[in-house]
Amino acid sequence: MKTIHQLRIFLLLSLFLLIGNLSYGQQTNHPLDPLTWQEYWTVLEVLQETDHLNADTRFSHINLVQPNKTLVWQWNKTKEIPRVAFAIVHQKKKTFKAEVNLVNRKLETWNELKGIQPTWLEQEFGSMVDKVKQHPEFIAAMKKRGYKDLTFIDGVFLPPGYFGTEEQKGKRIAHSQWMDVRNARNTWSRGIEGLTVVVNLDTEEILRVVDEGVVPIPTVNIDFDTASIPTVREMPGPIFINQPQGAGFTMDGYTVAWQKWKFHVRPDHRVGMVLSTVTYKDGSDERQVLYEGHLSEIFVPYMDPSFGWYHRNFIDAGEYTAGGLTKPLLKGLDAPDYAHYMNGLAIHDNGRPKPIPNMIAIFERETGDPSWRHYSNAMEPESRVKRDLVVRCAAVLGNYDYIFDWIFQQDGSIKVLVGATGIAEAKASIQKDATSPSENGKPGDAYGRFVDPHVIAVNHDHYFSFRLDMDVDGETNSLQLDRLRTEILPEELPRRSVWVSQPMIAKTESEAKLKINLDKPTLWRVVSNTRKNHVGYPTSYQLMPGKTGNTLLSEDDYPRKRVGFINYHLWATPYQSNERFAAGDFPTLSLPGKGLPEWTSKNRSIENKDIVLWYTIGMHHMVRAEDWPVMPVLWHSFELRPFDFFNGNPALDIPKD
């Protein structure tokens, strides 16, 4: 009886797991749907059948090949659009790109990629730790620091960027970081400072051990879970939000319809999520706004010139997305309980799919703000409650977490936010605090700020590039620059000056490389070449920046040369389906000039074209005490606003009650 009972339990568990897996592997019903569980396996099986897969084969990406854009806009659920996947395949020192027809189960292309380094694999982060621990120079350096037993020393090997040295050219070079993990869960203050090992991952050679001197490990505890907080504050009481009539939006697979908005959203291994085919229903007319919008790249350079820190200039989305950029959202904490949570898939190094639950959250919210109001004596005072639809995911990249929101608003605007949180990366210091005397002529906080005794959070930047394939009332658009300039008035008038708009159309890519200049303000608008509003203006959408920053890196600094997208806040390019990542497809250990600088060097025409905008958010982070040990979310944003797109305020029809 016991055996039969155990068998029943086993069968029930197996059925449960099967059902769970099927939830990640349903049939596609839209040409932009993400790869299903079965489609990942189709890629692997086809590569095996064509003798391109063995036990040593590794993968940094398997993803959907972009289908023809025009066909996607025209798709009406009846005509089938071919589904093709690509794979970036690692085979020892060589890298290949494969394309597999998922319907016909056919390998269409298999090409070696030369002169690039593919994205870091999960296994590479720790692949050399054991070998280094046996190296005599490393053992000697650790003995200087009081360590005879290395059992509790953890290490990680990271790509150090590229600085044009002979040591780096054509090699898969990595630099180490080390931590003493004893008696701490949050080990970001437990780094072994001043000790770096340089290795070649292709040959598994230890090239050198760099010892800059002993710095004691701080003894502070920076755990911040509930159990580590001595006294949890009292809250006045719960706030309940419910939707007794259900959600105000509908889901058809990955397609969302909310009030007058309709769009497709898919999880993505490299950039977290992609929003596509965004339309707004204006009467009976479903009008195009945006074909695709998504994060394109993240760049985080640190501002410490020491050997252990100068190389920390992370191109996060291109270098560090092994296992997927985003991680599960915590239900009821990262997003409301009542949200719709969307699962996704990423890959292991061996290419096999792995589920990521709660990868995207979609929910309505009312913040208490009005959509519009006016208090009038001539009319009854009027105001309307604002309701938004939020689409959210969260990335985790080592110490930092980033929250990405796309907020659809009833007035036809889309607000895009990125919130930085997590743990500021810090280094141990011989000096105790800001009152300590200088060492070697420099204060301890020359390149950062003390956040705990003997702990300095290093100054750094965050840059985010967003790719916005605008299709305002169709694919034929132009970029109009409304330059606001001072006009001096005639002397007989009491006023001396007003400002006026001096519009111009950016004809080529070079004219669209723009920085925000508060002394010479300019509105950036994507205008339709085929439609006008009721008073004769071309319909358009404005990209309205939020707070941002300029780069302070010198033009000859290698990190800046490798991520040229930070040179401007705005870029515009003619649509090319293979131009998706602002620092290039393969930024790992990359040469300078890839991505946007390379593409725009051709100075292609962007007038009356299908154009793509690229917007850069910049943030200088001088860490304060309040950012430690975990940082309150710091938001930056931009907005896509209808500008003469409608004939009036589209939110006038919001009901009063």
Q: Return the structure tokens found at 262.
A: 């309709």
- pLDDT at residue 280, as a whole number: 98
Q: Return the structure tokens found at 406.
A: 């796309």
Residue with tokens 């509790």: 152
Q: Return the structure tokens found at 569.
A: 């806040």
- Kindly write down the DSSP assignment for every residue of 289-327, as one continuous string: EEEEEEEEEEEEEB---SHHHHT-EEEHHHHS-TT-SB-
Exposure class string for 115-145: b at 16+ Cβ within 10 A, else e:
ebbbbbbeebbeebbeebbeeeebeebbeeb
- pLDDT at residue 184, as a whole number: 86
Catalytic residue among 400, 447, 541, 568: 400
CA torsion angle for 252, 256, 258, 261 (degrees, to 10)? -120
Strands (E), 103-230: 106-112, 153-158, 173-180, 195-200, 205-211
For 99-133, how does the pLDDT look when each residue is reduced to its tens digit (9 = 90+)?
A: 999 999 999 999 999 999 999 999 999 999 999 99
The one-character DSSP state at 559 is H
Amino acid identity of 93?
K
Cα torsion 190, 329, 619, 386: sign: negative
Q: With 80 as the cut, is the pLDDT of residue 14 above it?
A: no
Domains, the chain, in order of start with CATH, read: 23-112 (3.10.450.40), 122-228 (3.10.450.40), 251-371+383-643 (2.70.98.20)
Q: Report how far apart, in Å, the C-alpha atoms of 267 and of each of 139, 355, 464, 581 are.
A: 44, 11, 19, 17
Look at the chain and count its residues. Answer: 657
Q: Is 316 a catalytic residue?
A: yes
Give the CA angle between residues 534, 536, 542 to the nearest 5°.
90
Q: Return the structure tokens found at 521.
A: 């303000």
Residue 529 DSSP SS3: strand
For 583-606, how does the pLDDT look when each residue is reduced to its tens digit (9 = 90+)?
A: 999 999 999 999 999 999 999 999
What's the chain's average pLDDT?
A: 94
Identify the H or E element spanning 235.
none
Q: Return the structure tokens found at 628.
A: 């430690």
- pLDDT at residue 28, as a whole number: 64
Q: Please state whether 213 falls in left (phi above 0), alpha (psi between -120 and 50) or beta.
A: left
Amino acid identity of 53?
L
Q: Is 400 a catalytic residue?
A: yes
pTM over 0.85: yes
Residue of 341, 319, 346 whose CA lies nearest to 329: 341
For 444-498, how does the pLDDT look when each residue is reduced to its tens digit (9 = 90+)?
A: 899 999 999 999 999 999 999 999 999 999 999 999 999 999 999 999 999 999 9
Instruction: Report which of residues 17 and 24 the model is more confident about.
Output: 24
286 contacts 76 by C-beta, under 8 angstroms:
no
Confidence band for 351, pLDDT divided at 50, 70 and 90: very high
Residue 637 DSSP SS3: strand
Other Cβ atoms less than 10 A from the Cβ of 631: the count is 21
CA–CA dist 257, 259 (Å, integer): 7
Catalytic residue among 316, 401, 469, 610: 316
Strand order of the sheet with strand 448-452? Answer: 426-428, 455-458, 448-452
Confidence band for 238, pLDDT divided at 50, 70 and 90: confident
Q: Is 149 exposed, middle or buried (CB count within 10 Å of its CB: 0-12, 13-18, 19+)?
A: exposed
Residue of 61, 58, 25 whose CA lies nearest to 346: 61
- pLDDT at residue 327, as a whole number: 96
Confidence band for 8, pLDDT divided at 50, 70 and 90: very low
The one-character DSSP state at 17 is H
Pick the range with the lowest mean pLDDT from 106-110, 188-192, 376-380, 498-502.
376-380
Q: With 50 as the cut, is the pLDDT of residue 186 above it?
A: yes
278 contacts 414 by C-beta, under 8 angstroms:
yes
